[in-house]
Amino acid sequence: MKQIITLTVNKEIYEIAVAPNRTLTQALREDLNLLGTKEGCGIGDCGACTVILDGRPVNSCLILAVQANGSEITTIEGVANGRDLHPLQEAFVEHGAIQCGFCTPGMVLSAKSLIEKNQNPTELEIREALSGNLCRCTGYQKIVEAVKIASENMKK
């Protein structure tokens, strides 16, 4: 039996009917057509499905949609300001922190959450914040550098 839930996603309110076993990833992708949230492993190991839920980064594959009822969620689609990329997105592009792009939404959201709490993160703090996000293409160095550069640019 489906349950009606209300989610505020990227500042828009949605009411959707979901089965009790539907994950937040499935609801975002299949019900709201927000395809930037990726499902990689489905067991919370890769971070491709990372979204910001009520101010903290979470693996949306581990959260049932009904558990998110009433929550505020930011997906990668809500990071840019219209056509203007967020400084993190700009830094990822400009500094070669993107390869295939599958992990990028989760990386950006984890980094965004970090920078919102700590405007001057150290390399170690950045690496720790991104530790739940796996990338199969890069050695992480360019990703870490992009986050550091974005944090510096955002202070200006």
DSSP run (H or E) holding 38: none
Boundary (domain end) residue, out of 34, 54, 78: 78
Number of domains in the chain: 2
Give residue-wise pLDDT tens across range 103-129.
999 999 999 999 999 999 999 999 999
Residue that is last in its domain, among 56, 78, 100: 78
The predicted structure's pLDDT at residue 84: 95
Residue 56 belongs to a domain with what CATH number? 3.10.20.30
The region, left, alpha or beta by phi > 0 then psi within -120 to 50, assigned to residue 42 is: left
Concatenate the DSSP letters of all residues of 72-115 into one string: EEE-GGGTSBTTBPPHHHHHHHHTT--SS-SSHHHHHHHHHHHH
Does the pLDDT of residue 138 top 80, yes or no?
Answer: no
User: Closest by alpha carbon to 108, among 69, 150, 68?
Assistant: 150
Q: How far apart are CA 131 and CA 57, in angstroms?
A: 12
Mean pLDDT of 33-56: 97
Output 79 or 138, whichever has higher pLDDT. 79
Q: How far is CA 121 from CA 19, 64, 129, 139, 151, in A?
A: 40, 31, 10, 20, 8
Residue 133 belongs to domain spanning: 87-155
- Average pLDDT, integer, range 11-16: 98
Confidence of residue 139 (pLDDT cuts 50, 70, 90): confident
CATH of the domain at 145: 1.10.150.120
45, 78, 111 - which closes a domain: 78
> Could you tell me if 138 and 71 lie in one domain?
no
Task: Verify that 95 and 142 share a domain, yes or no.
Answer: yes
pLDDT, tens only, 17-39? 999 999 999 999 999 999 999 99
Same domain? For 92 and 150 the reply is: yes
